[in-house]
Structure formats: C-alpha cells, structure tokens
Structure 1
Amino acid sequence: MPIVGFQFDKLSAHRTGTIKGKIDIAHNVNIKDVKPDQINLDKKQDVLKFEFEFKVDYKPGLGNILLEGHLLYLDTPEKIKEIQTSWKKNKRLPDNITTNVINMVLTKSNVKSLILSQDVNLPPQIQLPKAMPKTNTENYIG
C-alpha cells in the first residue's frame, strides 16, 4: 500500500569549520518510531506514522545536516496491526516496508539536504552529474 504523506518537522544545517584537505561525508537514516495515526480522506482511516531522522556528517568537524520528519503509511487494518506489533516487539519492520520507507526518506532528504548544504556552503553529499568534453571517437572501429 502507499505512502500517503511526508513532512519534515525539523531542518538543521550547521557549518563549524573551514574546508581543508580530504573530507569524509557520512549519511545515516534512522527510523525512530512507528505510531498509529489517522487520516481523513473520504472517511477516517488508520495509518502508521513513521518518524525518521536523516543525518549527514562532514568530517573532520566541518559540520552536519539533520533532518527530522515523518511519513504516513496506509494499509489494511490487519497489516497495520502486524507492522505495529513487530515494531513494538523488536523494533523491526518487514523488509518490503523498510525498503519503501527508507527509499522515500532518502529521496526527499537527499534533495533537501543538497539545498541546505549549498545554503551553508558545505560540499554536496551526493555526486552530482557534470558535463564532460566530448572525447574523440571518430577513429574508433568496433
């Protein structure tokens, strides 16, 4: 079933040092909690609220970006109860749910953190495409 809502609750970009030499950039996505919630589409429906944290650390001591938020996941009442029980019991989620949630968080958070990194003059945390000069392939025989 689909993810029906996504929202950032906290955005933080902090630069603490000047950029010199080699920079290590580490990413971390963490699902902090899974809670029951309700939305009102045409009628009230039960959903799961996945609270997440996305963090980018620039080392050594150059700065960090922290994004916190939540997304809403809609499914059948039985599936919602099953996911919630699994989370309460051992803080684990089914693989397909984890994949969908993490991919959505990564997609939205990478774009947002790219903008924030530019605002505080930190390097981008993902490799951006670059234009390259055309190589001479006229003599290629293949």
Structure 2
Amino acid sequence: MRIIGFNLSKIVAEKKEKSVEKVQINQNINIKDVIKEKIPISQGEALSVKFLFTIDYSEDFAKVEFGGNVLLLPEKDELKTFLKEWKDKKVPEEFRTPLFNFIMSKCNIKALNLEEELSLPHHVPMPRIDAGSQI
C-alpha cells in the first residue's frame, strides 16, 4: 500500500473563555468513510480514506480538529482485504498503524501552530535541554 495523496477539508481550533486548573488532553482519529476510486495516474483502484483527527482539552476548555482524506494505492489483494474489513467499519490492522502515523504526522505540525496561536498547552511534549547537557 502506498500513500499517494493527502487533503485537508476542515480545520477548527477553538478556545473557550473559562480557565482550567489541570488540563487533560486526548487525541482521537476517527475513520469516517472509505471509498473506492479510479485515478488517472494508475490502472488500479485507489482508496479515499476520510478521517477526523481531534485534540480535546478536558472540561470543554478547547478543541482542535482536522478533517480530510488520505488517498491510498493498495495492491489488488490489499484492496479486497481493506474493503472486506471496512464493511464492519474496521481498518485492517496491517494498515491502521502506518495510516494513523501518516495522519498524525501531517496534522500534529499544524496543531502545534494553532495551539501556539491560541495559547493552548501543546498536545505533545516538546524536546527540552537540561542545564549542563551538551548540545
């Protein structure tokens, strides 16, 4: 399976007025739909995987959301496996990890920028250098 495309269709970042003493941050990737598509660059069929990536801050303090799709070019047997499992609204295990890692790699960078703009705590820890350590 090759990833041949990525597109965002929704970016939402919202911070509520209330302050929270201790913030818990949860991330979630929800696969909304999988659609088989013909594409002009290949004789095979591609899969368009629609997703929603959400970063939720506890107590309704803030939310960052990305919606979009990832275009996959699977081998013929991979296509059958994926579509068979998707009938039960499941992403096959062998595709889930690389797909989710790709979605996170694209969205996390944008999320960090939005969090900075809204003065939100970062949802992933930033690298730190301790005093006395060599760079």
Question: If the length of structure 2 is used for normalisation, what is the TM-score?
Answer: 0.89
Structure 1 residue aligned with 2:110: 112
Structure 2 residue aligned with 1:140: none
Instruction: Say whether 1:101 aligns with 2:107.
Output: no
Deviation digits for residues 36-62 of structure 1 (CA, Å, limit 9, x no counterpart): 112222x45410011111101112221
Structure 2 residue aligned with 1:24: 24
- Which structure 2 residues correspond to residues 1-142 of structure 1 after superposition, within 5 A? 1-41=1-41, 43-88=42-87, 90-134=88-132
Q: Distance in 1 between matches of 2:30 and 2:60?
A: 21
Unaligned residue ranges in structure 2 (runs of 5+): none
Q: Distance in 2 between matches of 1:114 and 1:103?
A: 16
Q: Distance in 1 between matches of 2:121 and 2:15?
A: 11
Deviation digits for residues 51-105 of structure 1 (CA, Å, limit 9, x no counterpart): 11110111222110011010011012342133112212x1112211111111111
Unaligned residue ranges in structure 1 (runs of 5+): 136-142
Aligned length: 133
Q: CA deviation at 1:117?
A: 1.1
77-86 vs 66-75, greater mean Cα deviation: 77-86
Report the AA paired with residue 23 of structure 1.
Answer: V
**Shift in CA distance, 19/128, structure 1 to aligned 2, threshold 3 Å:** farther
* RMSD of aligned alpha carbons: 1.6
| Sequence identity (%) | 29
Structure index of larger Rg: 1
Q: Distance in 2 between matches of 1:125 and 1:33?
A: 26
Q: Distance in 1 between matches of 2:21 and 2:119?
A: 16
Report the AA paired with residue 68 of structure 1.
Answer: G
Deviation digits for residues 102-126 of structure 1 (CA, Å, limit 9, x no counterpart): 1111111111111111122211110
> Is this contact kept in 2: 1:17–1:63, CA < 8 A?
no
